[in-house]
Amino acid sequence: MDWQLALSGLLIGTLVGLTGMGGGSLMTPLLIFAFGFNPSVAIGTDIFHGAAFKTVGAIRHRTLGTVHARLSGWMFLASAPMSLVGVAVATWVKNRYGDDTGDLLGVILGGALVLGGLGLLAKSAIGHTERPDAPFLLENKHRWAAVTIGFFGGLIVGLTSVGTGVFFGLTLLVLFPLRTAIVVGTDIFHAAALLWVAGMGHFVAGNVDLGAAGWLLLGSVPGVLIGSQFTVRLPDKALRLALSSVLVASGAKLLEVPAANAVVIAVLAAGAVAVAWTLVGASRASARAAAAEGTTRTDVP
């Protein structure tokens, strides 16, 4: 089982480095259904592992210049304490009612992810306006929005391990005038700090399998480095298509739809094809632009 954990970490780490999403949404169900982990231990192990490997991704994105640190800090102001509240509530619910309530939360969040992914996909298909490259300066309304996002997102993460990418990433994408690469980097940077808080809470509560977390890190650390390297090279539309496919696949897994594994594979494959098609189109457009520029220069006496 050890090498399978490392391979799972590599695949999901690459996905997180590329999109900022899919870590908890896919890893926690994977630990439960594929490896037979107890749900509470799967959540705690995933959060603890996510803290370590997203720290690597955060450092990498910071060096690439794709992090808005001030925005991340305002979210963390509320998300850190609320994640501990979520851990406490999850532990209390587990002791009193078992894992049924956690399953219900997963269903609710899964439905929200599918709807959010389809909405983002529709927005990408209908049209997309490129975000400006100019620095984004925070105003009071942005600070309040960031704190509000952190309040609710931190609670969700502490309860379910899901949300550092799918919740924060989507809300950042919708609410703030940032390029998608900046959204991904800021989301991972904030998630690294938040998951250390929630992860230590789960560690103290006895919900962390350190051996499994170590094998996951063996794959996810190089994976997140590989994925983050390609984030700055992809056009915004390609990244949005990738994000939407991850959201839908994550939601389908949490909802446990019929033939969930096949649905997840199909959705991710379709997203990969759409991204590849977008990249081919962008490459052809760049080649035509370069050829036209070369022709223009040749015609100049």
- Lowest average pLDDT, out of 9-18, 30-39, 107-116, goes to 107-116
Question: 216 or 15: which carries more pLDDT confidence?
Answer: 216
Alpha helix positions (H), 20-139: 23-33, 39-64, 69-97, 100-126
Q: What is the pLDDT of residue 89?
A: 82
Average pLDDT, stretch 64-72? 89
**Quick one: 259 exposed, middle or buried, by C-beta within 10 A (0-12, 13-18, 19+)?**
exposed
Please state, in angstroms and as integers, the Cα–Cα distance from residue 179 to each residue in 65, 183, 224, 227, 294, following that order: 12, 6, 20, 17, 29
Average pLDDT, stretch 25-43? 79
Domain coverage including residue 59: 2-299
Number of domains in the chain: 1
296 pLDDT band (50/70/90 cuts)?
Answer: low
Average pLDDT, stretch 84-107? 72
d(CA 92, CA 235): 45
277 pLDDT band (50/70/90 cuts)?
Answer: confident
Q: What is the pLDDT of residue 246?
A: 73
- Lowest average pLDDT, out of 73-77, 189-193, 212-216, 297-301, goes to 297-301
Average pLDDT, stretch 139-166? 83
Question: 177 or 22: which carries more pLDDT confidence?
Answer: 177
Percent of the chain with pLDDT over 70: 71
* pLDDT tens digits for range 179-191: 877 888 898 899 8
* pLDDT above 60: residue 134: no
DSSP secondary structure, 186-224, as one string: HHHHHHHHHHHHHHHHHHHTT---HHHHHHHHHHHHHHH
Question: 114 or 197: which carries more pLDDT confidence?
Answer: 197
Mean pLDDT of the chain: 77
d(CA 168, CA 165): 5
Q: What is the pLDDT of residue 143?
A: 93
Average pLDDT, stretch 153-158? 84
* pLDDT above 90: residue 108: no
Q: What is the pLDDT of residue 72?
A: 93
